[in-house]
Amino acid sequence: MPLVTLMLCVAGQAVPGRAATIAISNPGFETATLSLSGNGTFSQLIAGSTVFTQGGTLADWTASATSTDAGAGGFDPSPGGNNWTTTWWDGNNIAYLQESAGTTTSLSQTLSTVLQDNTTYTLSALIGRRTFTPNFNYALELFAGNTLLASASNLTLANNSSGTDSAFYTSGASDPNAGQALEIVLASTGSTGFTEAFFDNISLTAQSQSVVPEPSMVTPGGIAMLAIVFCQWRRHRHD
């Protein structure tokens, strides 16, 4: 009797689907009232700041700092001087974070999208360090509720330069944070002195990791068992 093999489908492997863009409000920081002037016009959202007087707005982003010796908001840089010799950002505005040693400053946005199971998330941003920047530090963070899912701070930028960084997170089949609202946090922590970082083009994508069955071999003994079941089904069907 020839060896016959039957292919059955059983639980298999995850196969990525097409990445979908998750909506972020004001991802390029173009919606802002820049009422202050320095090396370009800017807004300053940290209440009681000892660095800049509070003023202006930055729509859809919330600023916070662990000390009043900090500043955060939108910024329309003047070319050259203390800024950059070439434009690395899109549109007019970027976001900035500035702080003293030991202070953490952030801009955050809670999204209407919640964390899904079996999904890979990619959070990306353009990051800049201007000519003036004495100390450079940043973190690009993705949260679900109060849980930090992923963080990126991979760029070591020279003055007057920029780059793109991304943070990645893949949720499990029964992720403990599923259903929690996603939150984007742009952060900077002061090192030995005055520290700053600049951001533009914040983006977040989600790619479903759908599970497809894998084939499994069935031996001749298994075929015989299937044949018996099939014959019994036919007999009962014609009774």
Q: Inform me whether the pLDDT recorded for 28 exceeds 90.
A: yes
Cβ-contact 99, 191 below 8 angstroms: no
pLDDT at 184: 98
Please, what sign has the CA dihedral across residues 79, 81, 82, 88? positive
Confidence tier at 188 by pLDDT (50, 70, 90): very high
Q: What is the pLDDT of residue 6?
A: 37
Residues 6 or more apart from 92 whose CB is under 8 A from it?
A: 30, 76
Calculate the alpha carbon distances from 230 to 19, 224, 233 in Å.
43, 10, 5
User: What mean pLDDT is predicted for residues 210-231?
Assistant: 50
pLDDT value at 29 more than 60: yes
Could you tell me the domains of the chain?
Answer: 14-238 (2.60.120.260)
Residues for the chain: how many in total?
239
Q: What share of the chain is helix, strand, coil (3-state, %, to 5)?
A: 10, 50, 40
Q: Is the pLDDT of residue 141 over 70?
A: yes
What percent of the chain is modeled with pLDDT above 70? 80
Cα gap 200→163, rounded to integer Å: 10
User: pLDDT at residue 59 above 70?
Assistant: yes
Closest CA to 208 of 148, 127, 141, 120: 120
User: In this predicted structure, what is the pLDDT of residue 19?
Assistant: 87
Q: Tell me the mean pLDDT in the region 187-208.
A: 96
Report pLDDT for 10.
41
pLDDT at 192: 86
- Strands 36-37 and 40-42, by their bridges, are antiparallel
Q: Tell me the mean pLDDT in the region 151-165.
A: 98
Tell me the chain's radius of gyration from C-alpha atoms.
27
State pTM to two decimals: 0.82
For residue 84, CA distances in Å to 28, 79, 132, 171 come to 18, 6, 9, 38
